[in-house]
């Protein structure tokens, strides 16, 4: 049985194809369109999934869409009425796309020759299914939390076997995601794209504005809250905030303006309040469910800094956050909910997801043809161990290495398939990498560390703490900060990916680097430049390699160097 899951029209449009409940392929539309966070209908992603499975659209048994468009349109209409006349211009500007295609999802799907049943799963239920069904738990508390779905912004759920039961919800306009995004916009960053920049900037400030933010957000002990909408503009205008907000917090930062201490303090303040609300919600969820297991999904669940503090601030002992926690992952969740709950199939223990390598891959033939077109010098390896050994040696010598291997990752994080790598010290490696990536210097980098060594380098809740999707930040142990100087952030934390044999060739590389240097960790960042999605093709990888001061490119079985001699 084939089920196609689709998300579209908000951000990070994606497609996911299941065969008998297991992922065959999953990928975001942005990887093909090259439009970062592309929200267009994922025609190319769907085409990729079908080709990867070797089937045509008529062979798909069911299609599942990640939300209910009519219910979402109802919110748009009610919000317009409630905030009229100030909302007139945004309403008139937004209506054509709703009438042209957003309300016509079924017709769009039918045009692709999908003739069988189409299911529309509520947005937060899609998130809940994406969080719970791939987890290792048979029972778990589930929190879904983001900007907004149809109406819902937060959902407290209980998962038990096949069942996912809603226990409590919060509706628009009260939204932790939209609150965080308001400050993202206020600080000159892009909404639904740069929230992680705000999170990174927070480490350089102090939360001295927290009480001021609390004056416009009424937070209760159970984590429920009400936002004073007199200060927010997202209901009735094109801006997340309004003049009253600026009067309270001072002038906003223009994107090209220098970041000053006030900006860092504001970032620290909203991060601190977000964590307070987050933990209050989670503690209440624990009270409702009485289970040690927690699953998280939705855009706010990508706040790795907050996630790393869950163990100390709540009673939960086991936390699972799918790496594709945003709207791209909701395509997967919608398909899974259709498979398990609507069609009545078992979850199956095989469904537990440990890696996210569900995208495209390329043969040696395709790669070598591309290298020849660019007249690049390269060395081809026929011995896998020798390729790994030489790559680890390059990293140990301080080289910046582009790493393009096997199937690309599903979700926003590079997890060792489409990565740029370096050794994790000295500190200047961070500066070099940020220059290559054309990024702001305040932004931190993640570390990929061997699973069985994580407790030696990080203050983790248990010896074998598991973070395969880079969704947790943990403090770096004081005695190890020199070894990891390039990935230790200003608050002494680091976003980590734990690497095991499940990661294939990438595990072999990190393990070999450990054997050569005694350090079981490498700096890992996504293979892309500022403003680009992660590279999808060999052509794109080679293009970024040639445009930057990357030293080497390891692409499939080929080592490409900019030096005069091969390899």
359: which 2 tokens? 């995208």
pLDDT at 331 over 80: yes
pLDDT for the residue 365: 96
> Over 70: is that where the pLDDT of 563 sits?
no
Domain extent for 468: 364-561
Calculate the CA 383 to chain-centre distance: 34
Please check the confidence at residue 66 and state whether its pLDDT lies above 50: yes
Is 415 in the same domain as 327? Answer: no
Q: Which residues contact residue 279 at a Cβ distance below 8 angstroms, ignoring those fewer than 6 apart? A: 223, 306, 309, 310, 313, 314
Residues 406, 442, single domain; the answer is yes
Task: Say if residue 271 is in the same domain as residue 397.
Answer: no
Does one domain contain both 176 and 254?
yes
Report pLDDT for 310: 97
Q: Are 118 and 136 in contact (CB under 8 A)?
A: no
Please give the Cα distance from 458 to 487 (Å, whole number).
Answer: 12
Return the pLDDT at 567: 39
Residue 309 lies in a domain: yes
**pLDDT per position as a tens digit, 161-184:** 999 999 999 999 999 999 999 999
| Tokens 């499940």 belong to residue | 502
Does pLDDT of 565 surpass 70? no
> What pLDDT score was predicted for residue 348?
54
**pLDDT of amino acid 352:** 76
Q: What's the CA gap between 60 and 116, in Å, rounded?
A: 8
**Together in a domain, 181 and 298:** yes
pLDDT of residue 463: 81
What are the beta bridge partners of residue 154? 145, 170
Contact (CB, 8 A) for 401 and 550: yes
Give the pLDDT score at 433: 96
**220 and 339 belong to one structural domain:** no
Q: Could you tell me the strand order of the sheet in which 472-475 lies? A: 378-380, 558-561, 552-555, 401-404, 418-422, 521-526, 446-450, 493-499, 472-475
Q: Count the neighbouring beta carbons within 10 Å of the beta carbon of residue 84.
A: 11
Please provide the average confidence, as pLDDT, over all residues in the chain: 96
Chain centre to alpha carbon of residue 331: 14
Residues 227-249 have a mean pLDDT of 96
> Is the pLDDT assigned to residue 263 strictly greater than 90?
yes
Question: Are 105 and 237 contained in the same domain?
Answer: no
Dihedral of the alpha carbons of 122, 123, 128, 131, in degrees to the nearest 10? 140
pLDDT digits (tens, 9 = 90+) for 103-139: 999 999 999 999 899 999 999 999 999 999 999 999 9
- In terms of domains, do 299 and 393 share one? no
Distance CA(74)–CA(89), nearest Å, equals 18
User: Domain for residue 430, yes or no?
Assistant: yes
pLDDT in the model for residue 126? 98
Contact in structure between 17 and 50 (CB atoms under 8 Å) = yes
pLDDT band at 350 (very low <50, low <70, confident <90, very high): low
Predicted confidence band of residue 349 (pLDDT cuts 50, 70, 90): very low
Q: What percent of the chain has pLDDT over 90?
A: 94
Q: Is the pLDDT of residue 318 over 60?
A: yes
Residue 128: asked if its preceding bond is cis (omega within 30°), the reply is no
Tokens 């819902």 label which residue?
152
| pLDDT score of 566 | 42
Cross-sheet strand order for the sheet of 14-19 = 22-28, 14-19, 2-7, 62-65, 118-120
pLDDT (mean) for 184-194: 96
Copy the structure tokens of residue 201: 């900037």
pLDDT single digits (tens) 351-381 = 679 999 999 999 999 999 999 999 998 999 9
Residue 300 has pLDDT above 70, yes or no: yes
Specify the CATH number for the domain of residue 263: 3.30.420.40
DSSP assignments along 101-120, one per residue: IIT-HHHHHHTTT--S-EEE
Confidence of residue 24 (pLDDT cuts 50, 70, 90): very high
CA distance 548 to 448: 23
Same domain, 429 and 548: yes
What CATH number does residue 401 fall under? 3.90.870.20
Final residue belonging to a domain, choices 261, 293, 317: 317
Is the pTM above the cut of 0.85?
A: yes
pLDDT (tens digit per residue) in 487-542: 999 999 999 999 999 999 999 999 999 999 999 999 999 999 999 999 999 999 99
Query: Residues 289, 293, 296, CA angle at the centre, nearest 5°?
Result: 95
The number of helices, as runs of H, and strands, as runs of E, in the chain is 20, 21
**Please, are residues 392 and 522 in contact by the beta-carbon 8 Å criterion?**
no
pLDDT score for 465: 87
Instruction: Mark whether 485 and 516 lie in a shared domain.
Output: yes
Contact 553, 545 (CB under 8 A): yes
Q: What is the DSSP pairing of strand 378-380 with strand 418-422?
A: unpaired
In this structure, are residues 144 and 157 in contact, taking their beta carbons and an 8 Å threshold?
yes
- Order of strands across the sheet that contains 293-297: 163-171, 152-160, 139-145, 293-297, 318-321
Tens-place pLDDT, residues 145-157: 999 999 999 999 9
- Residue 81 contacts by C-beta under 8 Å, 6 or more apart in sequence? none
User: Would residue 347 count as lying in a domain?
Assistant: yes
Using the predicted structure, report yes or no on whether residue 475 has a pLDDT greater than 50. Answer: yes
- Whether 417 and 459 map to the same domain: the answer is yes
Residue 469 lies inside a defined structural domain of this protein: yes
Specify if 489 maps to a domain: yes
Question: Are both 295 and 186 inside the same structural domain?
Answer: yes
N residues, the chain? 567
- Residue 114 is assigned to a structural domain of this protein: yes
261 within domain boundaries: yes
Number of domains present in the structure of the chain: 3
Task: Classify strands 22-28 and 14-19 as parallel, antiparallel or unpaired.
Answer: antiparallel
Per-residue pLDDT averaged across 273-302, rounded?
Answer: 98
164 falls within a domain: no
């Amino acid at each position: 049985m084939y089920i196609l899951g689709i998300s579209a029209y908000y951000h990070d449009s994606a497609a996911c194809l299941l065969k008998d409940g297991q992922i065959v392929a999953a990928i975001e539309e942005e990887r093909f369109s090259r439009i970062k966070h592309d929200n267009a209908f994922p025609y190319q992603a769907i085409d990729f999934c079908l080709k990867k499975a070797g089937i045509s659209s008529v062979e798909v048994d069911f299609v599942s869409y990640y939300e209910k468009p009519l219910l979402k349109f109802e919110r748009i209409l009610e919000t317009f009425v409630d905030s009229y006349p100030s909302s007139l211009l945004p309403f008139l500007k937004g209506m054509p796309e709703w009438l042209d295609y957003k309300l016509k999802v079924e017709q769009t799907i039918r045009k692709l020759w999908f003739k069988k049943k189409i299911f529309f799963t509520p947005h937060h239920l899609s998130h809940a299914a994406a969080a719970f069904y791939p987890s290792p738990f048979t029972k778990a508390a589930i929190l879904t939390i983001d900007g907004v779905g149809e109406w819902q912004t937060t959902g407290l759920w209980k998962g038990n076997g096949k069942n996912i039961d809603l226990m409590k919800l919060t509706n628009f306009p009260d939204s932790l995601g939209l609150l965080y995004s308001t400050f993202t916009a206020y600080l000159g960053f892009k909404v639904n794209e740069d929230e992680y920049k705000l999170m990174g900037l927070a480490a350089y400030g102090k939360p001295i504005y927290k009480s001021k933010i609390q004056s416009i957000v009424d937070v209760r002990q159970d984590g429920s809250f009400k936002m004073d909408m007199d200060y927010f503009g997202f209901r009735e205008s094109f801006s997340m905030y309004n003049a009253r907000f600026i009067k309270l917090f001072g002038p906003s930062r223009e994107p090209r303006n220098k970041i000053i201490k006030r900006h860092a303090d504001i970032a620290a303040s909203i991060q601190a309040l977000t964590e307070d609300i987050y933990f209050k919600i989670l503690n209440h969820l624990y009270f409702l469910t009485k289970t040690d297991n927690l699953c998280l999904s939705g855009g706010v669940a990508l706040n790795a800094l907050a996630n790393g503090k869950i163990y100390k601030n709540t009673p939960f002992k086991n936390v699972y956050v799918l790496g594709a926690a945003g709207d791209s992952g909701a395509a997967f969740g919608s398909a899974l909910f259709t498979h398990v709950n609507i069609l009545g199939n078992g979850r199956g223990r095989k469904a537990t997801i440990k890696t996210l390598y569900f995208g495209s891959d390329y043969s040696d033939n395709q790669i070598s043809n591309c290298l020849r077109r660019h007249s690049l010098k390269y060395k081809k390896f026929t011995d896998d161990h020798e390729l790994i050994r030489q790559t680890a040696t390059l990293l140990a010598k301080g080289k910046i290495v582009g790493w393009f291997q096997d199937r690309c990752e599903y979700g926003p994080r590079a997890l060792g398939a489409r990565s740029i790598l370096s050794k994790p010290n000295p500190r200047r490696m961070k500066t070099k990498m940020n220059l290559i990536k054309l990024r702001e210097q305040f932004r931190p980098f993640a570390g990929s560390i061997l699973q069985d060594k994580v407790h030696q380098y990080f203050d983790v809740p248990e010896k074998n703490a598991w973070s395969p999707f880079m969704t947790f930040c943990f403090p770096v142990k004081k005695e190890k900060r020199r070894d990891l100087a390039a990935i230790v952030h200003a608050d002494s934390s680091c976003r980590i990916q734990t690497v095991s044999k499940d990661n294939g060739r990438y595990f072999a590389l990190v393990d070999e680097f450990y054997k050569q240097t005694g350090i079981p960790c490498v700096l890992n960042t996504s293979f892309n430049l500022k403003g680009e999605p992660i590279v999808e093709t060999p052509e794109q990888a080679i293009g970024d390699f040639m445009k930057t001061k990357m030293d080497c490119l390891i692409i499939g079985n080929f080592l490409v160097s900019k030096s005069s001699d091969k390899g």
